[in-house]
Amino acid sequence: DIQMTQSPSFLSASVGDRVTINCKASQNINKYLDWYQQKLGEAPKLLIYNTNSLHTGIPSRFSGSGSGTDFTLTISSLQPEDVATYFCLQHNSGSWTFGGGTKLELK
Amino acid sequence: EVQLVESGGGLVQPGRSLKLSCVASGFTFSNYGMNWIRQAPGKGLEWVAYISSGSSYIYYAETVKGRFTISRDNAKNTLYLQMTSLRSEDTALYYCARIRGIGVMDAWGQGASVTVSS
């Protein structure tokens, strides 16, 4: 099974900061890596799919990059409404595996 | 508007069964594969089961294989998860999610809560 290691687990940043979250796959997953945002009490929301494609309606301050085993979610300028937990998800292998999550808070 | 609404959750004793439903609207349900995903209280997300649009392909996580059965009724726009031999570790919020393209879950329901406890 493919394992996803996400870092950091917690992140504190200020409004306007550039924020990066990383995910490492235990084996090559090609481009099949997505990023989700989950706010408290809500269902996860798709932000980025297939490494770097922005989902409909998602602000352009969110972007994704990477390939193979190493992937990054970047928020170019943190906004108060971005406070949430972020998950990566691989879907390369006929199954789906989530990263452990990154809880993002405002400093 | 794409909508997925789960139901059927509740409190159940260990070893008993429960069946979740997910009613879809706002899109052509029969064209999409579907997943069940769960989230234990305060924990991360875990994929549970997948079914293709025509039910030809079905996959399960190892943690539920042999105990859970995913199915769908395209005439009723409804996805199901039959859960048997429930354990305390199955306690979670269960989400259904639509799959677009090669495995991208682009729409989720709000979840159905399942608590397994005596």
A18-69: pLDDT as tens digits? 999 999 999 999 999 999 999 998 999 999 999 999 999 999 999 999 999 9
Bond from prior residue into A8 cis (ω within 30 degrees of 0) = yes
B83 pLDDT higher than 80:
yes
Mean pLDDT in chain A? 96
Q: Specify which residues B114 forms β-bridges with.
A: B10, B92
Residues of B in contact with A95 (CB under 8 A): 47, 50, 59, 61
**CA-CA distance, A44 to B47, in Å (whole number)?**
13
Q: How confident is the model at residue A16 (pLDDT cuts 50, 70, 90)?
A: very high
Compare CB distances from A98 to B46, B101, B108 and report the shortest one's residue: B46
Let me know how many helices (H) and strands (E) chain A has, helices first.
Answer: 0, 11
Q: Do B110 and A43 touch (CB under 8 A)?
A: yes
Residue A96 forms contact with B (CB below 8 Å): yes
CA distance B17 to chain A (A): 25
Residue A1 has a pLDDT of 87
